[in-house]
């Protein structure tokens, strides 16, 4: 009887068509997710005009999705470790597709806010689940690159919303961009068929045949034998209370530090997205169309995510993140000083790379830190706590803007969270991460084989 550690199989597998398929579907889901989140901002001026709402009411209408994302990340990230990740992802797609489309059928602020809250449950819930899915099945040497490459679809979705939004809204009204967001619901049967189930879930529920099928695709050279028993490392076995597991085995302080890092990074992301254009316009800069600005920010985010993931596979991911947060502090601070428009766009791109891009790499690190069995729970709670930073950012920076402070001080206030996040990441005990312990186990096995 052979004991086969599925975690080790995934770690040492060579990239193949199976991995590419998972990357494709997870990235496509994230593109839809990014579109659904960005579409409200693109359509907001038209919505305000048609519904006759004030800026304050419009801000609440937009933030309703953020509240939904906070609850969705925590609840649906945790639930996935119990009901299976494929099913949780399908639920999330249904939520953000159906209710974003439903928002396009509303005609008053209250109905719009309710539908956006429900859509936010899916938008927030799908993130920890696709990160956990890609992390679980990625070869260890490519894990950072594949997770961040997948998550760069979030920026692609934002750019897609910006590119399609202007034409659709002018031709068919603001409702059209929301109705278009309902199309992904048609892909749910394909997603359920194409995506593999989480291996810890298959082991826990005794689905041996399904697990053997997954393993044969994950490692085509693997040959099943009668009596094979698939196992998990002790650290990867789910307990009855997955939330408690986040604070066990020396991970308590690190879990809190992840929460701090997520909070601070999402604060920066939403502070910039909410107030950068207005602050720059008030300072006399000619930024051109809002469309160009959104594209520059998201293009920088995409490059930052992919570049950060590439570095994380070659250097310690913890050190890469600290460097990216340092770049965020510098680039955001520089936005407060006069410079030519061309230089400003470069700095805006760097700010996108080191805020949105860094958030994506932080997701990747959280995915590598927690064991398979509680990975969705760990990422979900970090993302959910972080969403409170996203909710607070527009309000806090709005208060500062209302105080008529100098431009530099407003951007310094946005940059301070980057310093705090860098400090939080530096306090994460990487030796207690699942990835670090896997490296130790692999080294021990290699040494034993060499001695034999």
Domains of the chain in sequence order: 3-196+241-437 (1.20.1250.20)
209-223 residue pLDDT tens? 888 888 888 888 766
309-338 residue pLDDT tens? 889 888 888 999 999 999 999 999 998 888
Q: Do 397 and 274 form a contact (C-beta atoms < 8 A)?
A: yes
Residue partners of 48: CB distance under 8 A and separation at least 6: 54, 55, 58
DSSP 50-104: HHT--HHHHHHHHHHHHHHHHHHHHHHHHHHHHH-HHHHHHHHHHHHHHHHHHHT
pLDDT at 232: 64
Percent of the chain with pLDDT over 90: 20
Tally the residues of the chain. Answer: 452
DSSP state at residue 182: T
Least confident interval from 52-61, 101-110, 344-353: 52-61
Tokens linked to 408: 């530099």
The b/e string for 237-270 (b: 16+ C-beta within 10 A; e otherwise) is: bbeeebbebbeeeebeebbbbbbbbbbbbbbbbb
pLDDT at 281: 64
What is the SS3 assignment for 298? helix
The angle at the Cα of 42, spanning 37 to 47, to the nearest 5 degrees, equals: 105
Arithmetic mean of pLDDT, 116-145: 86
387-410 residue pLDDT tens? 888 888 877 777 777 787 787 888
Tokens linked to 439: 């490296």
- Looking from the CA of 3 toward its CB, the CA atoms found within 13 Å total 3
pLDDT at residue 11 tops 70: yes
- The span from the CA of 379 to the CA of 376, in Å, is 5
Q: Do 68 and 126 form a contact (C-beta atoms < 8 A)?
A: no
- pTM metric for this prediction: 0.74
**198 pLDDT tier (thresholds 50, 70, 90):** confident
- The span from the CA of 207 to the CA of 446, in Å, is 30
pLDDT at 435: 62
- The span from the CA of 325 to the CA of 199, in Å, is 34
**Burial of 291 (C-beta count, 10 Å sphere; 0-12/13-18/19+):** middle
Q: Do 232 and 203 form a contact (C-beta atoms < 8 A)?
A: yes
Arithmetic mean of pLDDT, 194-201: 86
Q: Report which of residues 439 and 96 the model is more confident about.
A: 96
Arithmetic mean of pLDDT, 158-162: 79
Residue that has been written with the tokens 């408690």 in this structure? 244
Which of 16-20, 344-348, 398-402 has the highest mean predicted lDDT (pLDDT)? 16-20
pLDDT at residue 156 tops 70: yes
């Amino acid at each position: 009887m052979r004991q086969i550690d599925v975690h080790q199989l995934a770690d040492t597998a060579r990239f193949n068509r199976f991995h590419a398929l998972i990357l494709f579907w997870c990235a496509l889901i994230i593109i839809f997710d990014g579109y659904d989140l960005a579409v409200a901002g693109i359509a907001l001026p038209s919505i305000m005009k048609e519904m006759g709402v004030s800026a304050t009411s419009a801000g609440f209408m937009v933030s309703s999705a953020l509240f939904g994302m906070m609850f969705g990340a925590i609840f649906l990230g945790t639930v996935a470790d119990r009901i299976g990740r494929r099913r949780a992802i399908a639920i999330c797609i249904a939520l953000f597709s159906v209710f974003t489309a439903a928002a396009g059928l509303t005609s008053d602020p209250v109905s719009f806010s309710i539908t956006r809250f429900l859509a936010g449950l899916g938008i927030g819930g799908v993130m920890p689940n696709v990160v956990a899915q890609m992390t679980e099945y990625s070869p260890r040497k490519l894990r950072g690159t594949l997770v961040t490459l997948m998550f760069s679809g979030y920026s692609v979705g934002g750019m897609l919303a910006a590119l399609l939004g202007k034409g659709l809204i002018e031709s068919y009204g603001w409702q059209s961009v929301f109705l278009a967001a309902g199309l992904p619901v048609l892909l749910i049967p394909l997603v359920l068929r194409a995506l593999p189930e989480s291996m810890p879930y298959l082991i826990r529920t005794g689905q041996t045949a399904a697990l053997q099928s997954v393993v044969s695709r994950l490692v085509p050279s693997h040959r099943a034998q009668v009596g094979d028993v698939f196992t998990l490392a002790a650290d990867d076995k789910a307990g009855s209370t997955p939330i408690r597991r986040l604070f066990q085995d020396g991970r308590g302080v690190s879990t809190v530090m992840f929460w701090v890092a997520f909070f601070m990074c999402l604060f920066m992301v939403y502070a910039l997205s909410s107030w950068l254009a207005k602050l720059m316009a008030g300072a006399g800069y000619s930024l051109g169309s809002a469309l160009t600005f959104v594209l520059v920010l998201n293009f920088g985010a995409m490059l930052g995510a992919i570049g950060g993931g590439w570095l994380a596979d070659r250097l310690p991911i913890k050190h890469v993140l600290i460097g990216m947060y340092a770049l965020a502090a510098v680039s955001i601070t520089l936005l407060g000083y006069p410079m030519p428009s061309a230089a400003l766009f470069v700095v805006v791109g760097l700010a996108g790379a080191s805020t949105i891009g860094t958030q994506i790499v932080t997701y990747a690190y959280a995915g590598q830190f927690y064991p398979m069995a509680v990975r969705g729970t760990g990422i979900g709670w970090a993302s959910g706590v972080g969403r409170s930073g996203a909710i607070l950012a527009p309000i806090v920076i709005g208060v500062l803007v209302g105080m008529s402070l100098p431009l530099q001080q407003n951007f310094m206030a946005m940059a301070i969270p980057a310093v705090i996040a860098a400090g939080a990441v530096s306090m994460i005990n990487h030796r207690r991460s699942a990835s670090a312990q896997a490296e130790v186990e692999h080294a021990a096995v290699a040494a034993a084989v060499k001695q034999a």
